[in-house]
Amino acid sequence: MRTIVIRENTELPVDDELASAINKMLAEDSTLPIKIKDHTVSFADYTVGSLQVGEVNIEIKPRNPVFTLETLFEMLLFESLNNFDENYLSSGFGDNQSFGIAAITSQFYYECVKLVDFGLTGGFTSEKKYGNEITGPLVLSEYHPAYIPIRGVAYMNDLYSLNVPANQIIKSAIIKVLRSESRVSIRKQYQMLLQSFEGVDVFAGNLDVLENISEAFFSSNPHYPLVLEFAIKILRDMKMKFTHGSISWYAFLHNSNDIFEKYVRKVLTKGLNSYITKWDTPKQIAVLDDGKRKGYKSYVPDILVDYDPLTNSAKAVLDAKNKFFDIDRDDIGEILHSADMYQLTFYCDKMKTNLGGLIYPAGDDYKPINVMIDGNQDFRFVLFSINLREKISVRHRKLCNAIKEYLLYYSK
């Protein structure tokens, strides 16, 4: 297996054989965030993860050094789970900085072992039985004295079984990993793990309800939430294609910008005593008309604080920026891109507020930076950062406190 490592938002030149394989892959699944033109492969902005085509594995790592596999999954888990425990990833991904699927499946296996060692949780189901030794409520609608000597009395019998949807989801993910794995030692590990799920069916329901099943499932086993989240990611986001019984390609790709934005929005939702929202659909702002055709431009801020739809106004506007943040550089002015400044100023004007801020991922603790815009003394513009290398509860508290102190305190 040949591995190629690139950074997000960069292009990759490929040879004829790989170009042909990628074109075939895109014909089979046009939803993949990949384009190829003239033997050059490009990925949608901020795409990170792993793509294997034939015997070539392409790893796309984040360009921001503070985004590791562990921090990305930590953000994914925090955003996805209602009751996130910051010790879920206490074991971490170790020294594995690979963004290949192997790192994900290895961690999934490790968490599954802890789940099984603690003990799987099942549930009770009722089934109708017939007999003379009654162990449950009678089914009166089927009470026929003439049939009693032949089949007995109908009654409901409660059975405890591990064959519940949560375990079905996990088993299905294990099987999917097993099908994609060619390493003999890893296959043996997963085959042994699969034995613990004997009697559990594969999940045959709609993938859209996986989160609902996970949230509704109760167990005293503390490892279920994390294992289920890994399983859901594998079932939904790990795409693959088999040809003649062997895997021809698989893709496990995420948008790092989308992950960071959703993560920050949930941090503020839980940590600020304010209504935090984002519009479901962008709002139109302009129409382009050349006499024959019309085009439309729209906008949607990442984070609105105390948005009022009746007045189309907000107390403050915040935008998450997945860009490198380091105030130790020689020219501090390079931190803020002009386009980001213009964009936030526009958002604040549309939302009738003088409070705006940008939030960056960082690898250290930095004080917020005030941005003074010429000719607009009433406009408070602040650059915030969140230290992704810090304990999650600490960094969440620091970010929320900074936004309260440096921005929301000045609301009119």
Would you say 337 and 351 are in contact if contact means Cβ atoms under 8 Å apart?
no
Determine the pLDDT at residue 92. 52
Tell me, letter by letter, the H, E, C secondary structure of 123-183: EEEEEEEEECCCCCCECHHHCCCCCHHHHCEEEEEEEEECCCHHHHHHHHHHHHHHHHCCC
Q: Is the whole-model pTM more than 0.85?
A: no
DSSP single-letter state for residue 40: E
User: Whole-angstrom Cα distance, residue 359 to residue 368?
Assistant: 10
Determine the pLDDT at residue 95. 46
Residues 6+ apart with CB under 8 A from 204: 168
Find residue 53's DSSP bridge partners: 56, 249
Return the number of other C-beta atoms located less than 10 Å from residue 199's C-beta: 10
- Tell the residue number behind the tokens 């990925």, with chain if given: 43
Selection from 407, 347, 352 nearest residue 383 by Cα: 407
Determine the pLDDT at residue 185. 84
Q: Which is higher by pLDDT, 95 or 60?
A: 60
Give the model confidence (pLDDT) of 174-184 as tens digits.
999 988 877 78
Would you say 108 and 234 are in contact if contact means Cβ atoms under 8 Å apart?
yes
Domains of the chain, by residue range, sit at: 2-120+164-257, 123-161, 272-410
pLDDT confidence tier of residue 129, bands split at 50, 70 and 90: confident
pLDDT confidence tier of residue 34, bands split at 50, 70 and 90: very high
Q: What angle do the packed helices 392-406 and 256-271 form, to 10 degrees?
A: 70
Would you say 122 and 221 are in contact if contact means Cβ atoms under 8 Å apart?
no
Phi then psi for residue 261, to 5 deg, are -60, -50
Determine the pLDDT at residue 76. 85
User: Whole-angstrom Cα distance, residue 371 to residue 9?
Assistant: 28
Q: What is the mean pLDDT of residues 117-132?
A: 83
Give the model confidence (pLDDT) of 256-301 as tens digits.
999 999 999 999 999 999 999 999 999 999 999 999 999 999 999 9
Selection from 264, 259, 228 nearest residue 76 by Cα: 259
Q: Which is higher by pLDDT, 246 or 262?
A: 262
Q: What angle do the packed helices 101-118 and 165-180 form, to 10 degrees?
A: 140
pLDDT confidence tier of residue 144, bands split at 50, 70 and 90: confident
Determine the pLDDT at residue 100. 60
Selection from 206, 266, 204, 320 nearest residue 77 by Cα: 266
Longest dimension (CA), the chain: 96
Give the model confidence (pLDDT) of 293-352 as tens digits.
999 999 999 999 999 999 999 999 999 999 988 877 667 888 899 999 999 999 999 999
Determine the pLDDT at residue 98. 55
Q: Is 265 helix (H, G, I), strand (E, B) or coil?
A: helix
Selection from 117, 115, 94 nearest residue 106 by Cα: 94
User: Whole-angstrom Cα distance, residue 309 to residue 193?
Assistant: 52
DSSP 379-406: -EEEEEEEETTS-HHHHHHHHHHHHHHH
